[in-house]
Structures are given as structure tokens and as C-alpha cells.
Amino acid sequence: MNKTIGIFGGGQLGRMMAQAALPLNIQCTFFEASADCPSAALGTVYSSAAEHGLQNFIQSADVFSLEFENTPLADVDVLTQSKALHPPRQALAIAQNRLQEKALFDALQIPVAPYKAVDSLDSLQAAVAELGLPIVLKTATGGYDGKGQFVLRSADQIDQAWAELGPAGSLIAESFVTFSREVSIIAVRGQNGDVKTWPLAENHHHHGILSHSIVPAPNSIDLQPVAQDYITRLLNHLNYVGVLTLELFVTEKGLYANEMAPRVHNSGHWSIEGAVCSQFENHVRAVAGLPLGSTEVVRPTVMVNIIGQHPKSEDVLALNGAHLHLYNKTEREGRKIGHITLMPNDSRELTSLCRQLAKILPNPLALSEDMSI
């Protein structure tokens, strides 16, 4: 196999996709504004700012994928005139618009929180009256890691919420869901329609940014088949090829879908060491038309993001069962610059590792000292 995969974006997801591709003798190229992006060490970067950058990128590879759901549809439309893109354009377009995404969930009978479209102050007031408070007001397009959102808890915040988000254009108001935890299901679909899923991850956030994921999610035996059913409906309906992620809330009424990501996902980084075949390798296999690999868990795993500042590598690597992944990114507050995978033998060892890791990280996250696996 001597294919080349072109990837829209050159961040850490593209970097890890390219790392997974190399053992398969598959090369990657990237379409990215920054020449020194995290993926630059793994393949040629074609500048999105250059006059003929897109055309040169299109000529550089046999088949294409992406690492960022905000990839411009205009670029995709130029590409697909002559080359194949996995995942399909339809999945990308839907994921870029929360209203379209919710409509798709409704059509496939995947439960979601009650919601209303908002395009004016009057319609926001009407949404508050119909949905009740609190609600989460979000931009319909753009926004990630908690950006583009406003939690509206009282009627006297309506004007403020509209002033902050109204200029962004189309909005969506969602009823605030009371949930016990957030989980995500990641699955991959091959070009032949074969579908494989990884176990649910339990996700924890700190200031709106994913801090760590536990896999398999504790107490998820009954949730796993439901989540698999939901994501399989999406994959087959969209005739999807590649990795898809579905974020879900665990509520008293069952699982509610939050959003989908048409790409490899932060909550799946654990799979590099923790699964027989990682999300990155299986995505590459799917895009290249190869058979999919096993998604079975090698050992229960915890993935911890490195955010803002780097720890000392030697301190992390001194921890038993720890694997360090750095993204060649400069330090900046709130920026994901690497991750650490912990592979303990049992819950007692996990507790010890988390305590040790909390002391090592420059910006300790909300690592629980009594997590169970």
C-alpha cells in the first residue's frame, strides 16, 4: 500500500493520524496556515494562505480526510470535483451547524434536550418562555471547548446573552440538561460498511476544556449498547467512512445526544496504547480502504490532557504505566499541548498514579483521587 492521504488541518489530530499511517507505508500531507504546525514533522504542509495552496494540496494525495470539523465547505467542494473525501461532505456540513445536527438526531430518533432556533431578541424571549430556565444559548456555527456559549439562568440575563452572542448570527437555545456525567462513543465505519465501536469514555472537563477521560466508562454496561445503536444509525444514514464521535449526557431518562464530531476525538486518545487498534489507525485504514482493526481494550485506561504548560518529561515517564505524548506546540493558557495515558492495573494503582500526576502537572486539573476503573 503506497497511498498518500491529504488532511485538512495540521494540528495534533493530524499529527497522530500521520503517526498511525507510517507503519502502513501510507504518507500524509496537510493543508494548514502555519508552516510550523504540529503535523509538519510528519509530511509536507501546503499553505492555505498561498495563492495555489489548495490546488497543490489536492494534487499531493490520492484520498483526503480532515482533523477539524470547521474545515471550509468551499474548499471541500473544490476538492471533491476530482478526489474523494472521507468523511463525506454531508456529515461535515451537518456538524458545522447545531440546528441541522439536532434535526438529524430528531430524524434518527436519537434523544436530545428540547431546543429552539433563535435569530432575534424576540425569538430568544420566546424560547425562554417555552423552554423555561435555565437554558444554554449557543452559536449555531463555530464554537468549541465551551466557546460561543452562554448559560442563561435568569430572565434578567436575556439582554446580556443576546448582546454577547446575537452578533454571531443564527443561535440555538437548548434546555439545560440535568446529567450525572458526560460520556462519548467513538466508532469507525469502513468503505464496505463494516462498523466497529470502542467502549464508552467518561469525560471530565475543567473550565470547559476536556481534562481527562476514563475508559471503559465506569458503570456503563447498560449504556454501551444504546450508545452503539445511536452512533451506528448516524454512520449508516450518512454513508460515513472513517471515525465518528458522539458526545452524550447520562440522565435519569437515559442517554441524550449533545453533539457529534466527524473526526478522531480527544476522548479517544487513550486508544493509542489502550486498544488493540487505535482510533487513528482505524481512521487511516477506513480512509485508505483497508480492513478495520479490533477495537478491544488492552487494559482499562485514563487519558489526561496537558493544558497550558508542559510538565517535566522525566517526571511523567518515571510513573509506572504512563505514556507521554507531546504535540510540538508552544505553551499558552488553555491550550492542549499534549496528553498522558495512564494504564494502571487496578483502581488502587490508578488512585496513586493520579495523586502523583497531580503533583507533576504545572496546572493540576480536577483529577479525582478515588476514580474507579
Q: What is the pLDDT of residue 370?
A: 47
Q: Is 271 annotated to bind ligand?
A: no
Q: What is the pLDDT of residues 3-15, one digit of tens each?
A: 999 999 999 999 9
Strands 115-118 and 171-175: antiparallel
The verdict on whether residue 308 carries a ligand-binding annotation is: no
Report whether 369 belongs to an annotated binding site. Answer: no
Asked whether residue 177 is marked as a ligand-binding residue, the answer is yes
Q: Is 143 annotated as a binding residue?
A: yes
pLDDT of residue 371: 55
* 147 annotated as ligand-binding: yes
What are the structural domains, with CATH classification, of the chain?
4-85 (3.40.50.20), 114-175 (3.30.1490.20), 181-360 (3.30.470.20)
pTM across the whole model: 0.94
* CA 159 centroid distance within chain: 32
Confidence of residue 365 (pLDDT cuts 50, 70, 90): low
Is 256 among the annotated ligand-binding positions? Answer: no
User: Is 273 known to sit in a ligand binding site?
Assistant: no
144 marked as binding residue: yes
Residue 188 is labelled as binding a ligand = no
pLDDT at site 143: 66
Torsion of CA 227, 269, 11, 240, to 10 degrees: -30
Residue 181 marked in a binding site: no
Cβ–Cβ under 8 Å, residues 341 and 273: yes
Q: How confident is the model at residue 183 (pLDDT cuts 50, 70, 90)?
A: very high
226 known ligand binder? no
3-state SS string for the chain: CCCEEEEECCCHHHHHHHHHHHHHCCEEEEEECCCCCCCHHHCCEEECCCCCHHHHHHHCCCEEEECCCCCCHHHHHHHCCCCEECCCHHHHHHHCCHHHHHHHHHHCCCCCCCEEEECCHHHHHHHHHHHCCCEEEEECCCCCCCCCEEEECCHHHHHHHHHHHHHHCCEEEEECCCCCEEEEEEEEECCCCCEEECCCEEEEEECCEEEEEEECCCCCCCHHHHHHHHHHHHHHHCCCCEEEEEEEEEECCEEEEEEEECCCCHHHCCHHHHECCCHHHHHHHHHHCCCCCCCCECCCEEEEEEECCCCCHHHHHCCCCEEEEECCCCCCCCCEEEEEEECCCCHHHHHHHHHHHHHHCCCCCCCCCCCCC
The pLDDT tens digits for 40-63 are 999 999 999 899 999 999 999 999
Question: Residue 141's CB: how many other CB atoms inside 10 A?
Answer: 17
264 is in an annotated binding site: no
Q: Mind listing the pLDDT tens digit for each residue in 295-352?
A: 999 989 999 999 999 999 999 999 999 999 999 999 999 899 999 999 988 878 888 8
- With bands split at pLDDT 50, 70 and 90, how would you rate the model's confidence at 146? low
Residue 138 assigned ligand-binding role: yes
189 is in an annotated binding site: no
